[in-house]
A and B are shown apart, each in its own frame.
Chain A
Amino acid sequence: MVAFRNTDTSGRTTGLLLRCVLYSLLALALIIIDKHYDQLGKIRRLLSIVAYPVQIVVASPFEGWDWFRESMSSRGALRADKARLEAELRLAQFRLQRYDALEAESQRLRGLRDSTAGVTDRFIVGDVMDVDLDAFRERVLVDKGAQQGVFVGQAVLDSGGVFGQVARVGQLTAEVILISDATHAIPVQINRNGLRTVAVGTGDMGRLKLPYLPTSADVMVGDLLVTSGLGGGFPAGYPVGTVAQVKRDPAQSLADVDVKPAAALDRSRELLFVWLKPQPAAQASTAASPPSANSPPATLIPAAPATHAAPATHAAPAAQAGQPERATPAPAHPPGGAAKPAKTPPPAGGNDE
């Protein structure tokens, strides 16, 4: 992997200094190019292929152990598992019965109201690899990459709700930034009354924050937060979390709201990569021209989820105070974060290449 060439056999201090300066400049140049231009994507992808065997080697003993345990599990345990899964499936099917009809209805209503909220089109399942990335950032490595059509900014869900979004794509792997990462923000909406705001990560996997709600906002412990679909990065209507704690300090203008994520951020092994349905042509043309086509208030209010939306009078003033401008879902961190929401809809058509 490491090519040792061009060794200065003289080994004098001058040579050392020269090489040190040379390599440092090279590293600095890499940092600057990687930060400001998108040129290094290909190189990084190639390098990630080189790193892939290391990651596989590291992950395989753990996967092997899982496999071993599974194949050694007793018949009784398997039967119990099967019974539980069947019960879950029955419940899920029962809930699904009316889903198709409801979705069609929702689509029709959205169409009538010219809503541009993204709707899930298709998804693939990826497995979280047993590899530790940076200890101080909330990220996971998943075994699906550019080869499967995964793209930067793509929404990632797990069985409980929204998990995060793709921060970086390798050829065979992708890095997913969790919604709990301190640099991540996701546009959400309170399911009960349609109040829109932004949920920001805290760096703690069990907690998100709603930092932009005024003390007077109508938010209660137990409220379900769903994605609002604003900004185009995430599909609308998926659970993000439930409000766990609301602190209202009369001296402050903003409330202190803690949210418990709906996704099992620290436990999930299987993740869904979601493609949004392409917008119908008429809407797409209006939506595509300005990158922030999702922000005019006219389209904001209808973006409520299929449940009974609150009276618009209720949502609007609160949302004004709640910084609707920040509704772009962007990990502040990945290069070109601002351009992402605008970029997301086009690949949605399923260019699976």
Chain B
Amino acid sequence: MTRDNRLRRLPMALSALVALTLAVLPLPSVLEAFRPDFLVLVVFYWSIESPRAGGLTLAFFSGLALDVVQGVVLGEHALALTLMAAWATHLRLRLRVFSIFSQCLTIFTLLTGYQFVLFWVDGATGNPVTTFGRWLAPVIGALLWPPLSGALSRLHER
């Protein structure tokens, strides 16, 4: 089991790195609000798929990386991602038997929770983002879940 987990860490780290790159990829400012949280989805995937391989550690450090590249208060995304990845891990057994639609709904809930934690920390640290745009990301992320999880499962089953 341990050996298996160790084998999974390479695709985990690689996919996280690619997702991080996608998170800072420049987009036309019209599309910027529609950018899905790729890294968050990837972290959710690994928390659900192989929680024993260190999903929470991945979540924490991915969040920290997001904090650094986005230039917000250090720990903001780390906190949100850790909490939501833990929740995803908790739900993982149920999630596997869900229909694809219910899975999307669950992911939507998790992403909304993620945005809510960010919203809360933003407000608590004194620079609230009150535009409606940020609540769009969960919808897009949920729609993106089926293709993304499919691609990732192909990646680590090889």
Decide: A24 near B79, CB < 8 A? Known: A2-B61, A4-B53, A13-B90: yes
Q: How long is the Cα–Cα vector from A175 to B112 in the complex, in angstroms?
A: 28
- Give 4 closest A-B pairs by Cβ, nearest first: A30-B75, A27-B79, A20-B86, A11-B52
CB proximity to B under 8 Å, residues A103-143: 130-137, 139, 141
Specify which chain B residues have a CB less than 8 angstroms from the CB of A30 in the assembled complex: 74-75, 78
Specify which chain B residues have a CB less than 8 angstroms from the CB of A31 in the assembled complex: 73-76, 79, 121, 125
Select the stretch in A52-60, A89-97, A287-295 that faces chain B: A52-60
Cross-interface CB contact of B58 among A4, A48, A54, cutoff 8 Å: A4
Decide: A44 near B74, CB < 8 A? Known: A31-B79, A31-B121, A136-B133: yes
CB proximity to A under 8 Å, residues B1-29: 1-2, 5, 9, 12-13, 16-17, 20-21, 24-27, 29
Q: Which residue of B lies closest to A129 (CB)?
A: B26
Q: How long is the Cα–Cα vector from A133 to B59 in the complex, in angstroms?
A: 20
Q: Which residue of B lies closest to A57 (CB)?
A: B21
**B143 contacts the other chain (CB 8 A):** no
Q: Is B129 a contact of A23 with CB atoms below 8 Å?
A: no
Q: Is A135 a contact of B133 with CB atoms below 8 Å?
A: yes
**B102 contacts the other chain (CB 8 A):** no
1/0 per residue, CB under 8 A from A, across B32-54: the answer is 11010000000000000001111
**B131 contacts the other chain (CB 8 A):** yes
Q: Is B60 a contact of A23 with CB atoms below 8 Å?
A: yes
**B104 contacts the other chain (CB 8 A):** no
Specify which chain A residues have a CB less than 8 angstroms from the CB of B54 in the assembled complex: 4, 7
Q: Is B61 a contact of A139 with CB atoms below 8 Å?
A: no
Cross-interface CB contact of B1 among A9, A19, A59, A139, cutoff 8 Å: A9
**B139 contacts the other chain (CB 8 A):** no
Specify which chain B residues have a CB less than 8 angstroms from the CB of A51 in the assembled complex: 65, 68-69
Decide: A132 near B26, CB < 8 A? Known: A57-B21, A167-B71: yes
Cross-interface CB contact of A132 among B20, B27, B62, B83, cutoff 8 Å: B27
**A3 contacts the other chain (CB 8 A):** yes
Q: How long is the Cα–Cα vector from A134 to B16 in the complex, in angstroms?
A: 18
Q: Is A9 a contact of B52 with CB atoms below 8 Å?
A: yes
> Within the complex, what minimum Cβ distance (angstroms) separates A62 from chain B?
7
1/0 per residue, CB under 8 A from B, across A19-60: the answer is 110011011111101110000100110011011001101110
> Within the complex, what minimum Cβ distance (angstroms) separates A179 from chain B?
16
**A1 contacts the other chain (CB 8 A):** yes
- A-B contacts, 19 of them at CB < 8 A, read A4-B13, A7-B5, A7-B52, A7-B57, A11-B52, A23-B57, A24-B83, A27-B63, A30-B74, A31-B75, A40-B74, A54-B20, A55-B24, A131-B24, A133-B71, A134-B71, A135-B32, A135-B133, A333-B126
**A207 contacts the other chain (CB 8 A):** no
Q: How long is the Cα–Cα vector from A27 to B33 in the complex, in angstroms?
A: 26
